[in-house]
Amino acid sequence: MRIGRWLCALGCVVLMAVFFLPSFSAGQDEQTLRGVQRVRVRTMKSISRAMRRVKVYTKKANYKRVAAAAEEIALLSAAIPYLSPKGSAFGKTRIKNEVWSRFDDYTKIARDSAQIARGLAKAAQAKDKSAVLKTFSALSDSCTQCHKPYRKKKRK
């Protein structure tokens, strides 16, 4: 009789584990995806700040700093696809679902953007002002190229 009750309790625990474990791990997945989203938005902000630095230091002809900022943009831009996994659109996010129906295109734009940023770093290392200005403008265009199809307009 006592063993019967014990077995029943054990059965209950096993059943609970079977039913609830998947939802526990699903909860963890969601937490991870929410974290990834936060990192994505922060990364964008860092890219944006580095762009401002490029502008400021180009004016001051401090090409060492321009190159450093451009290298940072290259690194961060290359990470964008990895910071945009499916299911990472939470809350006030502005990422569009089209990202996941055209992920190859999204990835390509991020890679192109990173490459332009590397070109900017090279132009800065060569202290070639006209190349710096030209590449900076191309880099700005590459932001728009991704934002237009893949980022929702800001809600006011």
Q: For residues 113 and 133, what is the distance between their CA atoms, to the nearest angstrom?
A: 15
Phi/psi at 89 (nearest 5 deg)? -95, 100
Shortest reach from residue 101's CB to ligand HEC, in Å: 14
- Give the nearer residue to ligand HEC in terms of CB position, either 25 or 145: 145
- Give the nearer residue to ligand HEC in terms of CB position, either 50 or 63: 50
Q: What is the dihedral of CA 129, 133, 138, 139, to 10 degrees?
A: 90
**Given the rule CB under 6 A, which residues bind ligand HEC?**
37, 40-41, 44-45, 47-48, 51, 73, 77, 80, 93-95, 106, 109-110, 113, 139, 142-143, 146-147, 150-151
Q: For residues 28 and 36, what is the distance between their CA atoms, to the nearest angstrom?
A: 12
- Give the nearer residue to ligand HEC in terms of CB position, either 29 or 98: 98
